[in-house]
Amino acid sequence: MSATDVTLLSAAAAADAVERGELSADELFEAYRAAAAGDELNAYLWVAEDAPAAPAPGAPLAGVPLAVKDLFCTEGVPSQAGSKILEGYRPPYTASVVARLAAAGAPLLGKTNQDEFAMGSSNENSAFGPVLNPWDRTRVPGGSSGGSAAAVAAGSAPWALGTDTGGSIRQPAALCGIVGLKPTYGTVSRYGMIAFASSLDQAGPLTRDVTDAALLLRHMVAQDRRDSTSIGLPGEIELPRSESLRGIRLGVPEELSRADVGIDPGVLETFNATLRLAESLGATIETCHLPHAPHALSAYYVLAPAEASSNLARYDGVRYGLRVQDGGLVGMYTKTRSQGFGREVKRRIMLGTYSLSSGYYDAYYGRAQRVRTKIADDFRTAFEKFDFVVTPTAPSVAFELGAKTADPLAMYLNDYCTVPMSLAGIPAISIPNGLSDGLPTGFQLCGPAFSENRILDAAHALEQAIGFDGSGGRIDA
């Protein structure tokens, strides 16, 4: 097999080929290592130099290498969450989920670029420069897991880990034409993930197809004694096989699927085409209502920055990363943070500090927590009648680099369709949904907590029917 042929295999197919002896794990690793080292998209911040030890005999992931978002701590390997403030940081331990995947036979291929501390929807907030979208290098890949999405779409990684706080897996997956899954909050350990907003952050797979997402997720899920919010899943993740949606009831929330809420007509066209396809696969489709969803973004931009302002208090120049001296202790804290954090991170720390400060707490933080309750209630009500709620993943296709950097609010609106599920803590997947103006769009499907297996099955059936061709994103195409 040529190196290009190797990187054309899905991760599951590559694992099978290694197991059957048609491909060696070394050959597989080297094909991807070379592709990652030659990356022209700025998707990687670090690439492994040496092949890892051979996978244990019978290891289920058979040596298929894994690209990992920079914010996962990896022992002895740079882990800076895309920030200058963690300059030179090489963690003394590895994140639980990365260690689990390595033990299952998926060694670390490289660390991927991201928006600083996962704050962003375009990857333009990285201290290491933006990632380019492999479909069109003048455009953003989405964010914050933009490096992971671009690497998988371009074929320089078979699959990748990302994190999703308000859409940071699903939105870049949509903009790069790949699959991205945010699991139910608590199914995957957050231990060793550099925190953004702890009540929302969740790790998930970015993959070329739904089967790969299921395979990777299967080996990510676990309760972890080192993350008190982790609960695992009631059963094992199954590989999806379904090709039908017979008997499945899909709810289309009016609040998240109309042109007048800011969804581009081209995106809506591909979304509606897939609804018709779902009908032909046996699904029933009805309008539903999530009356509080239009307020999700407001609640999110109170809650997430509030948690971030607290989480990021630890970057003070004392224990790791950057230190800038300036007279005394407070001077050192202040100079270190002012020079170490980028513009968007400062903005969110300011927003969070403001909404938690004396006199504003009830009006902002307290109210936002109540809105969060109403949004979760909206979904609970919808799931009494529907198996899944479906929406476009992002309101537009990938936009030009620089198009929204001057207007934070316009940038935040990218997460309009993905934030409600994050606040409710429920699982959601984005699958490639055809092209609009030659660029990928995403179809989002979400279900009740712990419905990952059913979501993967339905997404698989839709994926087969859509028959998306991802070759436009390949660097070797």
Partner 1 sequence: MIDREQVLHVARLARLELTEDEVGRMSDELSAVLGHIEKIDELDLDGVPPTTHVVEVSNALRPDEVQPSLPREVALASAPAVAGGGFLVPSPQADADPS
- Which residues form the interface with partner 1 (CB under 8 A)? 88-93, 185-186, 199, 225, 228-229, 231, 292, 295, 297-299, 301-302, 309, 316-323, 325, 327-335, 337-338, 341, 346-347, 349-351, 353-354, 357, 364, 366-374, 376, 408-409, 412, 423-425, 449
The nearer residue to partner 1, 33 or 372, going by C-beta atoms, is 372
92-96's contacts with Cβ under 8 Å and 24+ in sequence apart are 93/192, 94/192, 95/189, 95/191, 95/192, 95/193, 96/189, 96/191, 96/192, 96/222, 96/224, 96/226, 96/227
Residue pair 440/176 in contact by the 8 Å Cβ criterion: yes
* Residue among 414, 389, 429 nearest 181 (CA): 429
The nearer residue to partner 1, 148 or 418, going by C-beta atoms, is 418
Smallest separation, CB 316 to partner 1 (Å): 7
The nearer residue to partner 1, 10 or 353, going by C-beta atoms, is 353
Give residue 237's identity as a one-letter amino acid code: I
Smallest separation, CB 379 to partner 1 (Å): 11
Smallest separation, CB 292 to partner 1 (Å): 7
The nearer residue to partner 1, 19 or 87, going by C-beta atoms, is 87
- Rounded CA-CA distance 4/468 in Å is 20
- Rounded CA-CA distance 188/205 in Å is 11
Sign of CA dihedral 459, 142, 130, 320: negative
Smallest separation, CB 42 to partner 1 (Å): 26
Residue pair 391/291 in contact by the 8 Å Cβ criterion: no
| Strand 284-288 to 249-253 pairing | parallel
Burial of 323 (C-beta count, 10 Å sphere; 0-12/13-18/19+): middle
DSSP letter for each residue of 191-222: TTBPPS-TTT-EEEEEESSHHHHHHHHHTTB-
Active centre residues (catalytic) = 69, 144, 168
Q: Residue 236: how many CB atoms within 10 A of its CB?
A: 8
The nearer residue to partner 1, 20 or 319, going by C-beta atoms, is 319
DSSP bridge partners of 442: 432
The nearer residue to partner 1, 354 or 464, going by C-beta atoms, is 354
Smallest separation, CB 338 to partner 1 (Å): 4
DSSP letter for each residue of 274-333: HHHHHHHTT-EEEEE--TTGGGHHHHHHHHHHHHHHHHGGG-SSSSSS-----SSHHHHH
The nearer residue to partner 1, 328 or 467, going by C-beta atoms, is 328
- What secondary structure letter does DSSP report for 366? I
- What secondary structure letter does DSSP report for 182? E
Smallest separation, CB 429 to partner 1 (Å): 18
Smallest separation, CB 76 to partner 1 (Å): 10
Tokens 């030009």 belong to residue: 400
Polymer length in residues for the chain:
477
